A and B are shown apart, each in its own frame.
Chain A
Amino acid sequence: MSKIKDLFNSGKFKSAFIPYFTLGDPNYNDSIEFGKTILDNGADILELGIPFSDPVADGPVIQRAVARSLKNKFSFDEIFRVTKEIHLHKQETPLVYLTYFNPIYHCGIQTFLDRAKEAGVVGLVIPDLPFDTKESETLFHELRKRDMDLIHLVTPASTKKRIESLKKTSTGFIYYVTSFGVTGERREFSVDLKERIRFLKDTIQLPICAGFGISTPEQANQIAGYADGIIIGSAIQRVIEENGQNSPKTKDVLADYISKIRASIT
């Protein structure tokens, strides 16, 4: 049984808070501290970014985070070590990886999944792997064998037909991309956001979590009114960027921001 499914069924929250940050920014050991801080202050699921040199679905804030991370020598050993440390800090919070497909493919799908699972990861989000590829099918089956989830992205441009056909290979939750473009904080969202999420909920029997562009407690509160979860990346990454290393101040700002968002969606 999927950990994510259990969590959404548990009734612990009205809407889930799913923060994201990039591992290795500014270095791997600080990531452990940031992860713990975020977990302590109210993440329901934590998304960990495995850096990739060419993040085409990401805006400038996350691009810069990835670039800072890759100044450290990238290694899967480090990624899994850090992930495990974060996982052991609060084992009941599901961890998912967000990364591009190339590093996973390069690592080898089987090896990657075995090690990710061992480190405490229960699902994957891969923005450049459409569900209708051979690789996505392979990945889906391998994940199922390990009780892990493949979280698909659906966008304002996805047609009804396409949404229908991704049902077969979706588990965990649906990552609904709230706006056109790439990740990054935004002032406004597409006008039919609410209707689209409703339609998705009716079509796919999975929780629908919204991300891309959300940054303020007000936005989170508003969208939590109709989405099953809120995903926030760039705004968190900006806190790390602006405050830098694992100083008490960075952790304070992070803790404050995370708890405010968590409070805004209950």
Chain B
Amino acid sequence: MGKNQPGYFGEFGGRYSPEILTEALEELESTYQKLKKSKKFKKELEFYLQNYVGRPSPLTYAERLTKHWGGARIWLKREDLNHTGAHKINNAIGQALIAKFMGKKRIIAETGAGQHGLATATVGAMFGMETVVYMGAVDVERQNLNAKKIEMLGAKILPVTAGEATLKEATSEAMRDWALNVSTTHYIVGSAIGPHPFPTIVRDLQSIIGKEAKSQFKKQNHKLPHAIVACVGGGSNAIGMFHAFLKDKHVAIYGAEAGGLGPKPGEHSATLTYGKTGFLHGTKTLIIQDEGGQIVPAHSVSAGLDYPGVGPEHAFLSQTKRVDYRMVTDEQALDSFLEVTRIEGIIPALETAHAFHVAREVAKDLGKKKDLIICLSGRGDKDVTEVLRLLGERSK
């Protein structure tokens, strides 16, 4: 492996994980290459996406939000309507099928917001696989509804108390489990992160979002949208949304990352704004780190964006400036959450609320008669308790 070889996006990506995982990663890569071309696999994946996930997800014209913002026409790609309520299921189903083809009987996952854990627990139940979900102890608290659902589905949650007890630590712990059980277990990585081939597999599985959005929009409007927006934690819903549009140079692409409480280290998860090139969880990418090369704890109001790294393909797209990544603070995300809920009758995930804030800015800049699609990555039921708590604090 080297520059310009598979697994790299420019200088980013690659495989920088403990040696014990190398064989499994190579097996995964070769299996995936075969399955990608296999009619049987494609058919089976399509079957589950249609009949279990509920794809294609609608592309909704948001009339009220369009009027309210007073700029570009707003369209919503409704990943919130997927079974389990977010885009994460697209990837979980695909990887569970890959695991099945590899003969692995046990699946593990890391989760922040709990959406990926929920998706993995769901496919684990459906395919009858033993499922273990690693979740930061802090996230088990703030995303308690998802934690409870995961257990109800028969998966085991292992709360991780190390460090900040959030997504980064859950990811490390899942990697350790995989190192121990690599012959029986498949690790369903939940975002476009991790050692090669994970960023590519996750992107391919999520790219259905952008493919559908593109053809739905074309069918209704006989053209392409002027801009698209998605939120970026690890970056899986975003790369899924972006991928089909990357070559359409006149489509402006925006990513929203978590600006948290402010620009100080430890107060945000704005990797693409403040990160420096480094190595974390098996990949070379932009990472928030200090002068000693230690990873700085991330912060975001949304557990799903609370990660100090980012998928390597986003690091590349940021470097080449194909995508404009912007920061959104906790406060701004909370305001957007409330606004979208009231105006459009859709409760978005707090993660997605970040995308709405950027979309509002972009819609204004674009002006009327232009079109903007937002990836509505997930629904916000899981966030209701946390939002009420934050509103309580705000009113104090």
Pick from A56, A75, A105, A159: contact of B18, CB under 8 Å:
A56
Query: Which of B123-131, B136-144, B277-285 lies at the interface?
Result: B277-285
Q: What are the interface flags for A130-151 relative to B under an 8 Å C-beta threshold, 1 for contact and 0 otherwise?
A: 1011110000000000000000
Chain A residue numbers with a CB within 8 Å of B277 are: 105
Least distance between B206 CB and chain A CB atoms (Å): 24
- Is A180's CB within 8 Å of the partner chain B? yes
Q: Is the CB of B294 within 8 A of A70?
A: yes
Q: How far is the CA of A158 from the CA of B25 in the complex (A)?
A: 12
Q: Does A206 contact B (CB under 8 A)?
A: no
By a CB distance below 8 angstroms, the chain B residues around A156 are 20
A151 to chain B, nearest CB (A): 12
Confirm or deny: B168 has a beta carbon within 8 angstroms of a beta carbon on chain A.
Answer: yes
With A and B bound together, what is the CA distance between A107 and B292 in angstroms? 7
Query: Is A106 in contact with B176, judged by CB distance below 8 angstroms?
Result: no
Decide if B23 touches A181 in the complex (CB within 8 Å). no
Binary contact readout A65-88 vs B (1 if CB under 8 angstroms, 0 otherwise):
001001000111000000000000
Q: Is A92 an interface residue (CB 8 A)?
A: no
Contacts of A63 in B (CB 8 A): 162
Give A56 to B21 CA distance when docked, in angstroms.
11
Q: Do the beta carbons of B16 and A157 come within 8 Å of each other?
A: no
Please, which residue of chain A has its CB at the minimum distance from the CB of B174?
A56
Asked if B176 contacts A56 (CB within 8 A), the reply is yes
B179 near A: Cβ within 8 Å? yes
With A56-B175, A134-B2, A182-B176 known to touch, is A102 a contact of B280 (CB < 8 Å)? yes
Among A76, A154, A155, the one with the most B-chain Cβ atoms within 10 Å of its Cβ is A155
Are A53 and B287 neighbours in the complex by a CB distance under 8 Å? no
Q: Is the interface of A mostly helix, strand, loop or mixed?
A: loop
With A102-B279, A158-B23 known to touch, is A130 a contact of B17 (CB < 8 Å)? yes
By secondary structure, the B interface counts as mixed
Q: How far, in Å, is B315 (CB) from chain A's closest CB?
A: 14
Q: Is the CB of B180 within 8 A of A130?
A: no
Given A70-B294, A103-B293, decide whether A155 and B281 contact each other with a Cβ distance below 8 A: no
B1 touches A133 (CB 8 A): yes
* Residues 40-69 (chain A) with a chain B CB within 8 angstroms: 51-57, 59, 63, 67
Binary interface encoding of chain B residues 266-289 relative to chain A, with 1 for a CB under 8 A from any of its CBs, else 0? 000000000011111110000101
Tell me the bound Cα distance from A185 to B77 in angstroms: 50
| CB-based nearest A residue for B17 | A128
Cβ contact within 8 Å between A74 and B279: no
Q: How far is the CB of A263 from chain B (nearest CB, A)?
A: 31
Given contacts A57-B18, A133-B1, A177-B20, contact A182 B280 (CB under 8 A): no
The reply to whether A67 and B162 form a contact with Cβ atoms under 8 Å apart is yes
Interface size class of B (residues with CB under 8 A): 35 or more
Q: Within residues 8 to 34 of chain B, which ones have a CB less than 8 A from any CB in chain A?
A: 14-24
Residues of B within 8 A of A128 (CB): 16-18, 279, 282
- A-contact bits for B160-176, CB 8 A (1 contact / 0 none): 00110000100010011
Residues of B within 8 A of A158 (CB): 19, 22-23
A159 CB to nearest chain B CB (Å)? 6
Distance, CA A156 to CA B18, complexed state (A) = 12
Interface string of A85-110 (1 = CB under 8 A from B): 00000000000000011111111000
A103 to B276: give the CA distance in the assembly, Å. 12
Cα of A105 to Cα of B287 in the assembled complex, Å:
12
Across the interface, name the chain B residue whose C-beta is closest to A131. B19
A5 within 8 A of B: no
- Contact in complex: B295, A54 (CB < 8 Å): yes
CB-contact partner of A56 in B15, B17, B24, under 8 A: B17
B22 x A130 contact (CB < 8 A): yes
Whether the Cβ atoms of A75 and B292 lie closer than 8 Å is: yes
Q: Is A116 an interface residue (CB 8 A)?
A: no
The interface residues of chain B lying within 8 Å CB-to-CB of A180 are: 20, 179-183
Contact with B along A162-186 (1 / 0, CB 8 A): 1000000000000001001110000
- A67-B163, A180-B180 given as contacts; is B19 within 8 A of A102 (CB)? no
A127 engages B176 (CB within 8 Å)? no
By a CB distance below 8 angstroms, the chain B residues around A55 are 172
Contact, CB under 8 Å: A105 / B280: no
User: In whole angstroms, what is the CA distance A134 to B4 when docked?
Assistant: 11
The CA-CA distance from A182 to B179 in the complex, in Å, is: 7
A105 CB to nearest B CB, Å: 6
A130 in contact with B19 (CB, 8 Å): yes
Across the interface, which residues of A come within 8 angstroms of B162, CB to CB?
63, 67
In angstroms, Cα B16 to Cα A127, docked, is 9
- Is A153's beta carbon under 8 Å from chain B? yes
A100 lies within 8 A of B279 (CB) = yes
Binding site for B on A (CB under 8 A): 51-57, 59, 63, 67, 70, 74-76, 100-107, 127-130, 132-135, 152-159, 162, 177, 180-182
20 A/B residue pairs, CB under 8 Å, sorted by A:
A51-B294, A54-B281, A56-B179, A56-B281, A57-B176, A102-B279, A102-B295, A103-B292, A128-B17, A129-B16, A133-B15, A157-B22, A157-B182, A158-B22, A162-B23, A177-B20, A180-B179, A180-B180, A180-B181, A181-B180
Per CB-CB distance, the 9 closest pairs between chain A and chain B, nearest first, are A106-B293, A181-B180, A103-B293, A74-B292, A155-B20, A57-B18, A157-B23, A53-B295, A53-B294
19 other contacts beyond A56-B172, A56-B176, A158-B23, with CB at 8 A cut-off? A53-B294, A74-B292, A102-B287, A102-B295, A103-B292, A127-B19, A128-B282, A130-B16, A130-B22, A132-B1, A134-B3, A153-B19, A155-B19, A155-B20, A180-B181, A180-B183, A181-B20, A182-B176, A182-B179
